[in-house]
Structure 1
């Protein structure tokens, strides 16, 4: 659609394209979030990860997090799984392993296999009805004492201007049409606890959008703009806007409106243990 490759809705509800341009955006997003969070994880895993330990990146995308963790923990095995095989297959650390699979259809590992499991920004591709089954599967393949760490962006930008607020309403309606939860980030703690994890630790980081957030704020704004434009082929049709009107609104929001308001996102983090 619109010159971009998307998933068939019957295969995956993922709202963003599945192509090289999207991989570039995800790489940019990774490095921004790594800086914002002070690293690739926040849970206390250094005493947990030992020689022979196994780490899983669910929905690994192009695999940057997986590759970096393989370098940081060379004596552990790091696995990435994604429905799209856009990750490296040849030039990669020997302890990194990539698998093609739909994680909502079950995880292809035995019980008590992983020491640490990681999720980031899958609210754009996992249907609301599938989350509890996925959390239960995660708990199944996680070892007793193992840790799940889940990062999600609050889809509700704080202090948006009038055009941004209107387009966000359109985005939420579009997500709901695919049974995706635009508000998943604020529900992580409750959902993870319901799946049987214990002692969840919850935090969030506010990320300013635009130059008021310094260089990272500018990178974040550019990333949001690219993501918004990438969804145009299917969201514009749902909103009743022409593609030209949609482009014009997104350009105005990220080139002008965000500089007139103190817009920011809340990046939510929850980590929890499987005790037994």
Structure 2
């Protein structure tokens, strides 16, 4: 089965429970992408992979706080799977999901709320409002400077003293890349050391493709779907014409079956200073 955990059977929320809205993104966004059922389905599957591999929906030491009653924010929540699961597990807490796209579930726990907003603008919450802010894999969503200087800064603004922030980011490594560069990637939270303490970081490696067992195969399928379904957007990012892009995709698919391709998930959490 490879060196990744075996997958467990999970039930995804049917895509029919979501509202789809064709929205034109602000020019300040890195991508131009319309939400559709295919993308929501990818979000759902990826969520279950994260949960299976990480063995939890979060890592920050906040379990007791959640049981007692906390205010929690998921920045870039997408279709809201994380929010709904957490709200079900921790009934005493209130969970807020916020995203630019209105693809929120029409059925949700009573302690789950969703808001449509631009993450690059000041969000509709007061300072020091949340006990926990969660950010996961906003891939292609922002330019690096926007992510670090706007999104993270705004997240820290909304944290209460001694509250926690958790961030998960993903990198794909193939035999054509230098993994040492990615492995040296510093925790972006250290930049805010004047506001944060107890910064922790962890790297989780997951083989994808035939060398990664069942989860690796599912993750590889998600990567291929992303390349196929978002080809226009990705071609624009990498300045590739149609022929070049097709060669790139075919090369990636071939490499999945011949080399040890893997992903690294970077997991960070920190506590806001009192």
Spell out the pairing of 1:147-166 with structure 2 (5 A cutoff): 147-155=164-172, 157-160=173-176
Q: Which residue of 2 aligns with 1:133?
A: 150
In 2: Cα distance, 1:110 partner to 1:267 partner: 31
Number of aligned positions between the proteins: 248
Larger helix proportion of the pair? 1
8 Å CA contact retained: 2:33, 2:233: no
Which of 92, 97, 101 lines up with 2:113 in the alignment? Answer: 97
Which of 262, 266, 269 lines up with 2:267 in the alignment? Answer: 269
Length-normalised TM-score, structure 1? 0.81
Q: CA 1:134–1:253 in 2, change beyond 3 Å: closer, same or farther?
A: closer
Query: Structure 2, unaligned stretches of length 5 or more?
Result: 1-21
Secondary structure at the aligned position of 1:212 is classed as coil
Q: Which residue of 2 aligns with 1:259?
A: 257
Q: Deviations over 1:163-215 (max 9, x none)?
A: xx6xxxxxxxxxxxxxxxx9799243455534621111110100101121100
Length-normalised TM-score, structure 2? 0.82
Spell out the pairing of 1:1-276 with structure 2 (5 A cutoff): 7-8=24-25, 10=27, 12-14=29-31, 16-88=33-105, 90-130=106-146, 131-155=148-172, 157-160=173-176, 186-194=185-193, 196-236=195-235, 239-242=239-242, 246-247=245-246, 249-254=248-253, 256-276=254-274
Q: CA 1:194–1:227 in 2, change beyond 3 Å: closer, same or farther?
A: farther
In 2: Cα distance, 1:8 partner to 1:134 partner: 16
Q: Deviations over 1:19-40 (max 9, x none)?
A: 2210001111111111111111
In 2: Cα distance, 1:128 partner to 1:268 partner: 15
Q: CA 1:77–1:261 in 2, change beyond 3 Å: closer, same or farther?
A: same
RMSD between aligned residues = 2.5
Q: CA 1:138–1:70 in 2, change beyond 3 Å: closer, same or farther?
A: same
Q: CA 1:109–1:225 in 2, change beyond 3 Å: closer, same or farther?
A: same
Q: Give 1:16 shift.
A: 4.9
Q: Give 1:251 shift.
A: 3.9
In 2: Cα distance, 1:71 partner to 1:153 partner: 26
Secondary structure at the aligned position of 1:105 is classed as coil
Secondary structure at the aligned position of 2:101 is classed as coil
Q: Give 1:226 shift.
A: 0.9
Q: Give 1:112 shift.
A: 1.5
Q: CA 1:11–1:132 in 2, change beyond 3 Å: closer, same or farther?
A: closer
